[in-house]
Amino acid sequence: MQELKKCPLCNSDASVFTNKYGQEVVTCSENLHECPISLVQFAVLSWQIRPIEDALQTKLDQLRADNQALVEQMNENAKTMQRFLEVQKAAFLRLLEWNPGIAQDFVVLLTLDIEKGNSHEKPDSKSN
């Protein structure tokens, strides 16, 4: 027998027993004060069939898989960026050894370009 789903109302475990007619039935394991479903007896198959919950679980599983793929892609991109920065640093150190003046000019121009990029505010689409 497959594992029984939790109670759809209170998320408690299900209780399986044989009723007075000899049928195997399921109900919520909580008492009446905790969950009113404990008053109702369901056939096992009826307890297990929850199309909306099953569809939502399928969608949730897909979203988790998509999220994991994005995390892995971001981690790979971060590694690539780190390698790129290491190559750039090595190239700059070679330039510094070869011609310190050009290296200094490069740093000044790069700093100005970064400041210029940071000072340009993008128009806010909400203010239009």
Complete DSSP assignment for 3-33: PPPPPTTT-PPEEEEE-TTS-EEEEESS-TT
Question: Vertex 126, ends 122 and 127: CA angle to 5°?
Answer: 80
DSSP 42: E
Report how far residue 124's alpha carbon sits from residue 16's, in angstroms, rounded to the nearest whole number: 60
79-91 pLDDT, tens digit each: 999 999 999 999 9
3-41 pLDDT, tens digit each: 999 999 999 999 999 999 999 999 999 887 789 988 899
Q: Which of the two residues, 118 and 29, has the higher pLDDT score?
A: 29
* Distance in angstroms between the alpha carbons of the first and the last residue of the chain: 62
User: Rounded to two decimals, what is the model's pTM?
Assistant: 0.53
According to DSSP, the residues that pair with 73 across neighbouring strands are none
